[in-house]
Amino acid sequence: MNSPRKAFTLIELLVVAGLMAVMFAMIVANGRPRPSAIRGAQDFSSALLAAQSRALGRPEGAAVIIESDGSVYYEADMLPPISLPVTAGTIQAHADLANSYKLRFRKRVGDGFITISPWLGIKDSLPVRRELAGQTAANTILEPPGDGIEALVIRTPRVGSAALKVGRGVQMVLEKSGVGDNLAANHGYGSFATAPPGRIAVTFDQTGRVAEVIQQLGASTGPEPMAPNEIIYFLFAEAGETVPLMSERSVWVAVNPQTGRINVASNEPSSDLVTARTKARQAIAFGK
């Protein structure tokens, strides 16, 4: 009797197609020099695609962590989730609660679980509502009802041992990189140049989609991790370029959090960031 054939998901096919596209581009470019911004953008997109591939099927997902000045990025170490019993609405104490950033409640039923809450944030080892996800007291309960409840806790990504330098002659411009088109968006992720500066993590879930973007990684007072629904942009420019938005040699890496698709697009010179990001998104849509 033949065993049933496992079908590929759309995300898995997109990841494979993305990896093949990057490899093809590297083969085509072999033997002739690439402008440093293009080289940096392609290398970074390859790192994102590799993390996305590692995340598939893993409950803890995978991530890329970016140094606060954009000069180095890392493959993240992702620890498996932990399950903690909940008694009278209180989560069992655990040292790693202080090093975790989200949880959801679930109830054991037979040999499996039923999820009974959305992903919640964690602050001071307690569940908190995620305002950036639209959670309010009116629509999100923090104290799970009933017995037999567990908290599934996701631990914060940690810097891995392998550091990947952006490369000579190129800079990742975090001031102009961020989520969405608006630098001054209310969610606070319009620019990745924050004060105080801190590491940035882009995490992928087990389906290959973007799970969160985290600024000031590991800081207890850092901004709330964001589950983005807008394009995530990273701008690469030639080293020493003082006005990267006005340079034809600058390059964008754009990540669609809903599909997990990662693209590279040339920069069309503009003095306005919204216009520059919009043109980059349109260039990707039309295959430029």
Q: How does the average pLDDT of the chain come out, rounded?
A: 87
Residues 204/55, Cβ–Cβ less than 8 Å: yes
Q: Which helix (H) or strand (E) holds 127?
A: strand 126-128
Query: How far is 206 from 195, CA to CA, in rounded Å?
Result: 32
Kindly report which listed range (29-38, 155-164, 198-207, 245-254) carries the lowest average pLDDT score.
29-38
Which pTM was predicted?
Answer: 0.84
Would you state the pLDDT for residue 32? 46
Scored b (16 or more CB within 10 A) or e, 137-151 reads eeebeeebeeeebbb
Task: State the architecture of 10-77+159-285 in CATH terms.
Answer: 3-Layer(bab) Sandwich (3.55)
Task: Specify which residues 101 forms β-bridges with.
Answer: none
On the question of pLDDT at 188 being above 70, the answer is yes
Note the pLDDT tens digit of each residue in 3-41.
454 555 666 666 666 656 555 544 444 444 457 899 999
Name residues whose C-beta falls within 8 Å of residue 41's C-beta, 6 or more positions apart in sequence: 234, 236, 251, 252, 253, 264
Looking at the chain, the whole-number percentage of residues with pLDDT higher than 90 is: 67
Would you state the pLDDT for residue 13? 60
| Two tokens, residue 247 | 């340079």
Question: What is the pLDDT confidence band of residue 196, given thresholds at 50, 70 and 90?
Answer: confident
Nearest to 173 by CA among 245, 268, 76, 79: 245
> Cα dihedral angle (266, 240, 64, 50), rounded to 10 degrees?
50
Nearest to 232 by CA among 208, 258, 207, 250: 258
Nearest to 240 by CA among 165, 171, 167: 171
Average pLDDT over residues 200-212: 95
Q: Where are the domains of the chain?
A: 10-77+159-285, 82-155
- Strand, helix or coil for residue 275: helix
Query: How far is 156 from 154, CA to CA, in rounded Å?
Result: 7
Kindly report which listed range (3-12, 53-62, 186-195, 223-232) carries the lowest average pLDDT score.
3-12
Question: What is the pLDDT confidence band of residue 1, given thresholds at 50, 70 and 90?
Answer: very low
Q: What is the DSSP letter of 79?
A: P
Residues 104/195, Cβ–Cβ less than 8 Å: no
Nearest to 257 by CA among 213, 288, 215: 213
Would you state the pLDDT for residue 220? 77
Would you state the pLDDT for residue 84? 95
**196 cis-preceded (ω within 30 degrees of 0):** yes
